[in-house]
Amino acid sequence: MMWKGIKLSLLGLVAFAQVHAQAPARPKLVVGVVLDQMRWDYLYRYADRYGKGGFKRLMNDGFNCENTSIVHLPSYTAPGHATIYTGSVPALHGIAANDWINRKGAMSMYCTQDDSVQSVGSSSKAGMMSPKNLLATTVTDELRLATNFRNKTIGISLKDRGAILPAGHTANGAYWFDASNGSFISSTFYSKALPSWLTEFNKRNVTDSLLNIDWNTLYPINTYTQSTADDNAYESKLKGEQTPTFPHQLKSFIAADKGVIRTTPWGNTLTRLMAEAAVQGEALGKSGQTDFLAVSFSSTDYIGHFFAPNSIEIEDCYLRMDKELELFLNFLDKQVGAGNYTLFLTADHGGAHNVSFLKDAKIPGENVSEKVVNKNLNEVLKTALGVNELVVFSNYQVYFNEDLMVQHKLDRDKAVAICKDYLVNMDGVAFVLDMKDAAKNTIPKKILEMAVNGYHPNRSGELQVILEPGYYSGYGSTGTTHGSWNPYDTRIPLLFYGWGIKKGSSFTPYHMTDIAPTIAALLHIQEPNACIGTPITEVLK
């Protein structure tokens, strides 16, 4: 009796010790995939020709959050990537746009600009970048902290901001494309030299090999029934092209401008190959801790800007992206093991239809040039107040030059009234919000909230312009852009897949800010330090 009792209690102790010695169950690798400018409807628009192993594998075997939106302005790349990974908004994480005016000192600032660091892997200035301007931690940072820096985090994208912001402050490396040499480069913020696996990868000259292949459609061109006929007035032309049509001949760009690869699907191929080289080179998923790969595919955005959503080029881009995804998932199955990794796929923003295309379809819309508005607004202010270049109109915002305001003892209310009067009378302007006193603006609550979430006092303009639907500040009459509050710019795909993720789908409204806390919940780690989102519990097993 007594012996039995001792035995039992000993067993109990052993079991107790085992339970408490166990680390929380986590996947070997988390992969964050951002498809730059992917509209939510692209999951369905081209679905009849998606294979089983790409988007459909994630949709059928993972969890599809069908109703996910951005809740900040402007809907640009840098704020989008920062928001996905911080679970926060520009008002708090500080990435208020791609480029902004620092109101203290009236300096223009690029989101990942850092003049205190040097390029690594290039003699150009493209590597003088870091996450210094990002004021919050990312979920990738929190995972580094949670593992006491024993795991690895790597960020990869053609765009510097697409690699740097997701990878956070504590990344082991972030790598982006330098058009001057066609290679992936980095900055001394991370390391003094490129890792040897990357030097080897760069030596393969993948960029040149890909540019050696002309861009033809994947299927016979007459089967692209979701798009306007190839030769139309809505699309931009690559340098040297007579018409914006297939085949896009790329060989001459090897010598002339390697950066053109970004505006072809080969840019996504290059990114996928680079991501695979990083997984192998860094042995991601094999550290015994949870590693994190943040990869952002940028060519979807470059092609979108150039050709717009109704082009055969975009249709072809997504049919090919589906194939890249399939190859990448198969690679991860082999390298890390099916079921050993968790992957999410989302977008930093969507994109509008080309305005001429809309008008031809009898839908309102117009191109409003920020440059022209900037010039006209400054002329009006000069006439009224006698001061030159008092404001900068950028990011659909009015930045006052505070130094000039003080120097000329200008009355803020008067200057604001002049700007408002000019802007609200402009064709296509729906509202002008004074962000110094945001609650006083009469505007639908949802849009006001997005403006407030996007307003960083030192990095945003004091006046926020809201255009009518279909209006945008594009680069010209062809192509398109994004940046507004409207659903075409702010409804994003969100798919979770793999370790710890349920199968299913939901139309419950979720926000871009919910992605980071969902990953934090999955991993049982602290949420990023400015997170305002909520974990999406229905995706978790």
Tell me how far, at minimum, the Cβ of 267 lies from Zn ion, in Å: 13
Tell me how far, at minimum, the Cβ of 233 lies from Zn ion, in Å: 21
**Which residues, 418 to 457, sit near Zn ion by CB under 5 A?**
none
Tell me how far, at minimum, the Cβ of 474 lies from Zn ion, in Å: 11
Paired residues of 501 in beta bridges: 540
| Torsion over CA: 69, 71, 77, 81 (sign) | negative
Output the CA–CA distances (angstroms, integers) from residue 38 to 299, 329, 342, 521, in the order listed: 10, 19, 21, 26
Tell me the per-residue interface mask from 216 to 255 with Zn ion, x by CB under 5 A, - otherwise. Answer: ----------------------------------------
* Cβ-proximal residues to 174 (8 Å cutoff; 6+ apart), any chain: 154, 155, 156, 163, 164, 167, 186, 187, 190
Tell me how far, at minimum, the Cβ of 347 lies from Zn ion, in Å: 8
Q: Give the residue closest to Zn ion by C-beta.
A: 77
Separation CA 512–CA 532 (nearest Å): 10
- In angstroms, how far is CA 74 from the centroid of its own chain? 12
Length of the chain: 541
Phi-psi region of 409 (alpha: psi -120 to 50; beta: other; left: phi over 0): left
Instruction: Reply yes or no: is the peptide bond before residue 247 cis, omega within 30 of 0.
Output: yes
Which of 69, 77, 119, 367 is close enough to bind Zn ion by CB under 5 A?
Answer: 77
If the CB atoms of residues 472 and 499 are measured against Zn ion, the closer one turns out to be: 472
If the CB atoms of residues 36 and 322 are measured against Zn ion, the closer one turns out to be: 36
> By CB under 5 A, which span of 73-81, 233-241, 449-457, 523-531 interacts with Zn ion?
73-81
Tell me the per-residue interface mask from 309 to 348 with Zn ion, x by CB under 5 A, - otherwise. Answer: ---------------------------------------x
If the CB atoms of residues 98 and 217 are measured against Zn ion, the closer one turns out to be: 98
Residue that is written with structure tokens 């006439």 in the block: 383
Tell me how far, at minimum, the Cβ of 296 lies from Zn ion, in Å: 8
Separation CA 141–CA 139 (nearest Å): 5
If the CB atoms of residues 317 and 501 are measured against Zn ion, the closer one turns out to be: 317
Phi-psi region of 65 (alpha: psi -120 to 50; beta: other; left: phi over 0): beta
If the CB atoms of residues 93 and 152 are measured against Zn ion, the closer one turns out to be: 93
If the CB atoms of residues 34 and 126 are measured against Zn ion, the closer one turns out to be: 34
Tell me how far, at minimum, the Cβ of 38 lies from Zn ion, in Å: 9
CB 191 within 8 A of CB 155: no
- Of these residues, 77, 228, 490, 513, which one is catalytic? 77
Tell me how far, at minimum, the Cβ of 369 lies from Zn ion, in Å: 17
Total binding residues toward Zn ion, as defined by CB under 5 A: 4
The number of C-alpha atoms within 13 Å of 224 and in the hemisphere containing its C-beta is 22
> By CB under 5 A, which span of 72-80, 133-141, 173-181, 212-220 interacts with Zn ion?
72-80
- DSSP assignments along 358-407, one per residue: HHHTT---EE--HHHHHHHHHHHHHHHH--TT-EEEETTEEEE-HHHHHH
If the CB atoms of residues 36 and 291 are measured against Zn ion, the closer one turns out to be: 36
- DSSP assignments along 292-328, one per residue: EEEEEE-HHHHHHHHH-TTSHHHHHHHHHHHHHHHHH
Tell me the per-residue interface mask from 342 to 361 with Zn ion, x by CB under 5 A, - otherwise. Answer: ------x-------------
If the CB atoms of residues 97 and 523 are measured against Zn ion, the closer one turns out to be: 97
User: Beta strand 107-110 with 99-102: parallel, antiparallel or unpaired?
Assistant: antiparallel
| Torsion over CA: 503, 505, 509, 514 (sign) | positive
Separation CA 506–CA 484 (nearest Å): 25
Tell me how far, at minimum, the Cβ of 480 lies from Zn ion, in Å: 9
Is residue 301 at the binding interface for Zn ion, with CB under 5 A as the rule? yes
> By CB under 5 A, which span of 34-42, 97-105, 253-261, 515-523 interacts with Zn ion?
34-42
CB 248 within 8 A of CB 241: yes
Tell me how far, at minimum, the Cβ of 481 lies from Zn ion, in Å: 6
If the CB atoms of residues 142 and 348 are measured against Zn ion, the closer one turns out to be: 348
Is 300 among the catalytic positions? no
> By CB under 5 A, which span of 140-148, 293-301, 504-512, 531-539 interacts with Zn ion?
293-301
For Cα atoms 177, 236, 376, give the angle at the middle one, nearest 5 degrees: 95
**494 burial type by CB count under 10 A (0-12 exposed, 13-18 middle, 19+ buried):** buried
**Which residues, 470 to 499, sit near Zn ion by CB under 5 A?**
none
> By CB under 5 A, which span of 28-36, 149-157, 494-502, 523-531 interacts with Zn ion?
28-36
Which residues contact Zn ion (rule: CB under 5 A)? 36, 77, 301, 348
- Just list the catalytic residues: 77
